[in-house]
C-alpha cells in the first residue's frame, strides 16, 4: 500500500509540474490528441434527432482515460486509474440560440486495456487508444432553419509512461437545417459503431420542439396511458401512482408470503388494547417508509447508485437476506426450539413489540425491492430521471407509504383483523405453512446470491424450492383433514393445499428449461443486430427478480409469443443484472428506468416499439410486427 500511495503522489506531482510547463507554450495533451466533429449527413430537418460523432485521433503509443461514467461500469478485468483526468464532452451551445440541444446520454467507445504497475502489481487500466469515436445524441429544434453551428468542448489527458497536462479542446460543427433535407446514409467507417436506440427514434420533420418535455408513458398490461409533464396536475398524479404501486407491492410474489404473518400478529394484538395495536401498525409502517426513504436518499445523492434494487446486485447482500429469512421462518414456524438471536423473537407475531414491528417493516420492504409493481416503476423511473433530490425522495417515500398503508389501516380498525386466527391449532398450521413458504423464499435468495458469483447459473436450488412448496401444500391438506370442523372448511383448505402443491411441483421443470435462444446483451450486440436489419428484443432480468421470471415464463415463453420471437430477423438479447453487469445496468439507466423487469423492442432504425415493465403477450407480438414493418435507417 505504501508503494501505491507513493505512485499516486508521484503521478499527481507530475501533473502539477506539467501544468506550468504547458502554460509556457510546451506540450499539453492537445499535442497528442486531435478532435473533429462529424454529422451523419450533410443536411438535417427541423425536429430531427441525430448522432454527432466526436472523433479523437490519439497519437501512437499514447492513450487518454475513459469517461467518468464508463469508469464506473468497466468490463471484468479492467480498472480505472483513481488519479485520472477523465475524458469529457460537452455541448457549449448552438448558434442561433436554442437551435439544438443534447438529447440523451453519450455513447462512449469501447475501452482498451493497458497494463501498468502503479505499486500494487500489474493491473489493466481502461483507456482510449488510436481512433476513438464517441456519439453525442443531438436534438434539432423544430423551429430551427438555415446554418446552425454547434460548439463542443472535449477535455482529455494524454499519457504514456508519464502524463501530459490535460487540455480542453474546442471543436465546432456546422449543420445545414432545411425541411427538404434527405436521408443520406451515414459513413459506416465513422457511424458503424453507433447504437441507434440511443436516439429513441428519429423525429419527423416539423415535430414537437425537443425543449418541451416528452409525455411519460405508464405501462399497465395493455391499458397504457400517457401523462403530460407540463400539466399542473402531473406531480400529484405521479405521487398517486407511486402510492398505488407501493400498495400493490404487498401482492407481489416477493412480499405475499409474509403478509399473513403480520396480519395474524395484528389480529392477536387486536384482542388487547386498541392503542397498542395502532402503535404497532405505525411502527411497521415506519419501517417500510424508512427503508424506501433511505433508497430515495441513496438514489438522489450517492454517485453510482442508480437502481432501487441495486443492493441485490451484490451477491453477499442477497445471500444475507436469504439467511435472514431462513432463520426468521424457522423461528416463527417453531421448526426448532434451540436458542435463537433476540431479533428473531422481537419479530415473532405472538410477541409483538415496537422494535420488532419496525424490523419486520424493514424486512418486508427489502423483500419488495426485487419486484416491481404496476405503476410504481414508471413513477420511480421518472423521479430518478429528474435528478431532483426533492422529487426522488418524495416519490420513494410515497411508495413506502403506499406499501405500509394497509397495515396502518388494519391497526387503526382492528375489528377488520379479528376474524383471523389469533392462537390455537389453526393459527399454528397457518404459521407452519407460511414458514415453509418463507423457507422456499430464503432458498430462492441464497441461490440467486450464489449465481451472482457464477458465470453459469446453477439450477438445483429450484428443485429444493419446489419441494418446500409441495411440502407446504401437502401439510395444509393433512392438517385440514384432521382439524377442519365443517365439510365446507375442509374442502376449501384441501383445495388450497392441493393448488399450492401443484404450482410448486411445476416450478422446477418450468424454470430450469430455456425455450428461447437468448444471447447476452452488449451495446455492440445491439448495434450489430440493427446493422443486420434485425428486430432487437431486449429483456432486463436477474436471478433474484421473481417478477422477471414470472413474465418470462408466462408471457415470453408462451406458445404465441415464442413463435414470433423465434422467427428469422429477431435478435433476442438478455441483460442479466444478477451480479455487477455493467453494460446492462448502464443501458437500464440510459432508458430512464430504476427497476426491473423491463422489456424493450427496437426496430432496425432504432425506434422503440415497446418499452414496458407490465406488458401483455399481444403487446409483445404487436411490437415485433410493428418493428419489422419499419424501414431500415
Residues with Cβ within 8 Å of residue 19, at least 6 apart in sequence: 165
Residue 188: its pLDDT value, please? 81
CA–CA distance, 404 with 76 (Å, rounded to integer): 40
pLDDT of residue 582: 66
Q: CATH homologous superfamily for 519-629?
A: Glutaredoxin (3.40.30.10)
Question: What pLDDT is stored for residue 376 in this prediction?
Answer: 76
pLDDT of residue 14: 42
| pLDDT score recorded for residue 311 | 75
Q: What is the pLDDT of residues 360-395, one digit of tens each?
A: 888 888 877 777 767 777 777 777 766 678 888 899
- The predicted structure's pLDDT at residue 59: 93
pLDDT at 153: 92
Stretches where the chain sits below pLDDT 50 are 1-26, 201-212, 337-340, 344-347, 349-350
CATH no. of 2-199: 2.60.40.1250
Extents of the domains making up the chain: 2-199, 227-310+333-421, 423-509, 519-629
**How many other CB atoms sit within 10 Å of the CB of residue 13?**
10
* Separation of alpha carbons 159 and 164, rounded Å: 6
pLDDT the model gives residue 105: 78
Phi-psi region of 375 (alpha: psi -120 to 50; beta: other; left: phi over 0): left
- Closest listed residue to residue 56, CA positions, set 45, 48, 64: 64
Q: Across-strand partners of 148?
A: 175
The pair phi, psi for residue 460, each rounded to 5°, is: -60, -30
Alpha helices by DSSP H, 55-167: 68-71
Residues 291-304: tens digit of each pLDDT? 999 888 888 877 66
pLDDT digits (tens, 9 = 90+) for 132-166: 999 998 888 777 788 888 999 999 999 988 888 89
Phi, psi values for residue 122, rounded to 5°: -60, 130
User: Which regions of 197-332 does DSSP assign to beta strands (E)?
Assistant: 216-218, 225-227
Helices then strands, counting H and E runs in the chain, come out as 19, 19
Amino acid at each position: 500500500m505504501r508503494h501505491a500511495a507513493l505512485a499516486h503522489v508521484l503521478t499527481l506531482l507530475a501533473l502539477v509540474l506539467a501544468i506550468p510547463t504547458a502554460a509556457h507554450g510546451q506540450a499539453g495533451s492537445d499535442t497528442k490528441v486531435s478532435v473533429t466533429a462529424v454529422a451523419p449527413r450533410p443536411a438535417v430537418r427541423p425536429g430531427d434527432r441525430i448522432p454527432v460523432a466526436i472523433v479523437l485521433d490519439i497519437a501512437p503509443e499514447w492513450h487518454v482515460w475513459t469517461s467518468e461514467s464508463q469508469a464506473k461500469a468497466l468490463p471484468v478485468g479492467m480498472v480505472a486509474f483513481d488519479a485520472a483526468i477523465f475524458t469529457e464532452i460537452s455541448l457549449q451551445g448552438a448558434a442561433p440560440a436554442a437551435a439544438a440541444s443534447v438529447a440523451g446520454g453519450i455513447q462512449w467507445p469501447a475501452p482498451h486495456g493497458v497494463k501498468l504497475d502503479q505499486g500494487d502489481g500489474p493491473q489493466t487500466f481502461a483507456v482510449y487508444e488510436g481512433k476513438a469515436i464517441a456519439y453525442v445524441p443531438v436534438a434539432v429544434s423544430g423551429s430551427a432553419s438555415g446554418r446552425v453551428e454547434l460548439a463542443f468542448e472535449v477535455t482529455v489527458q494524454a499519457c504514456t509512461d508519464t502524463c501530459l497536462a490535460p487540455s480542453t479542446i474546442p471543436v465546432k460543427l456546422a449543420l445545414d437545417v432545411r425541411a427538404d433535407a434527405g436521408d443520406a446514409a451515414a459513413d459506416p467507417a465513422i457511424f458503424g459503431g453507433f447504437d441507434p436506440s440511443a436516439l429513441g427514434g428519429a423525429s419527423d420533420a416539423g415535430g414537437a420542439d425537443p425543449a418541451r418535455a416528452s409525455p411519460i408513458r405508464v405501462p399497465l398490461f395493455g391499458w397504457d396511458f400517457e401523462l403530460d409533464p407540463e400539466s399542473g396536475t402531473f406531480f400529484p398524479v405521479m405521487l398517486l401512482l407511486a402510492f398505488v404501486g407501493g400498495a400493490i407491492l404487498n401482492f407481489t410474489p416477493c412480499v405475499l408470503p409474509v403478509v399473513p404473518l403480520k396480519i395474524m400478529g395484528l389480529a392477536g394484538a387486536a384482542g388487547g388494547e386498541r392503542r397498542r395495536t395502532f402503535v404497532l401498525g405505525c411502527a411497521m409502517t415506519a419501517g417500510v417508509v424508512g427503508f424506501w426513504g433511505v433508497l430515495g436518499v441513496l438514489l438522489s445523492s450517492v454517485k453510482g447508485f442508480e437502481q432501487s434494487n441495486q443492493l441485490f446486485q451484490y451477491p453477499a447482500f442477497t445471500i444475507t437476506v436469504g439467511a435472514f429469512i431462513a432463520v426468521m421462518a424457522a423461528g416463527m414456524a417453531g421448526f426448532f426450539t434451540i436458542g435463537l438471536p433476540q431479533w428473531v423473537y422481537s419479530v415473532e407475531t405472538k410477541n409483538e413489540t415496537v422494535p420488532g414491528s419496525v424490523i419486520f417493516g424493514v424486512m418486508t420492504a427489502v423483500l419488495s425491492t426485487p419486484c416491481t409493481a404496476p405503476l410504481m416503476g414508471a413513477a420511480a423511473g421518472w423521479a430518478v430521471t429528474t435528478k431532483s433530490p426533492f422529487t426522488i425522495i418524495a416519490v420513494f417515500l410515497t411508495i413506502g407509504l403506499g406499501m405500509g398503508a394497509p397495515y396502518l389501516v388494519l391497526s387503526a380498525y382492528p375489528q377488520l383483523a379479528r376474524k383471523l386466527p389469533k392462537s390455537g391449532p389453526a393459527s399454528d398450521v397457518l404459521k407452519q405453512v407460511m414458514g415453509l413458504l418463507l423457507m422456499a423464499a430464503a432458498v430462492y435468495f441464497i441461490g440467486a446470491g450464489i449465481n451472482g458469483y457464477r458465470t453459469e447459473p446453477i439450477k438445483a436450488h429450484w428443485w429444493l424450492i419446489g419441494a418446500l412448496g409441495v411440502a407446504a401444500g401437502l401439510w395444509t391438506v393433512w392438517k385440514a383433514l384432521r382439524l377442519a370442523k365443517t365439510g365446507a372448511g375442509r374442502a376449501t383448505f384441501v383445495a388450497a393445499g392441493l393448488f399450492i402443491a401443484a404450482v410448486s411441483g411445476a416450478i422446477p421443470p418450468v424454470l430450469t428449461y430455456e425455450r428461447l435462444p437468448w444471447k447476452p446483451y452488449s451495446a455492440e450486440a445491439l448495434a450489430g443486430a440493427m446493422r443486420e436489419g434485425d428486430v432487437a428484443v431486449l429483456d432486463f432480468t436477474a436471478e433474484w427478480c421473481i417478477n422477471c421470471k414470472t413474465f418470462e415464463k408466462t408471457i415470453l415463453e408462451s406458445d404465441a409469443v415464442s413463435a414470433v420471437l423465434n422467427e428469422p430477423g429477431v435478435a433476442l438479447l438478455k441483460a442479466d443484472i444478477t451480479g455487477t453487469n455493467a453494460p446492462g445496468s448502464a443501458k437500464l439507466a440510459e432508458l430512464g428506468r430504476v427497476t426491473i423487469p423491463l422489456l424493450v423492442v427496437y426496430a432496425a432504425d432504432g425506434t422503440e416499439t415497446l418499452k414496458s415493465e407490465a406488458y401483455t403477450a399481444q403487446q409483445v407480438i404487436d411490437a415485433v410486427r410493428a418493428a419489422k414493418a419499419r424501414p431500415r435507417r
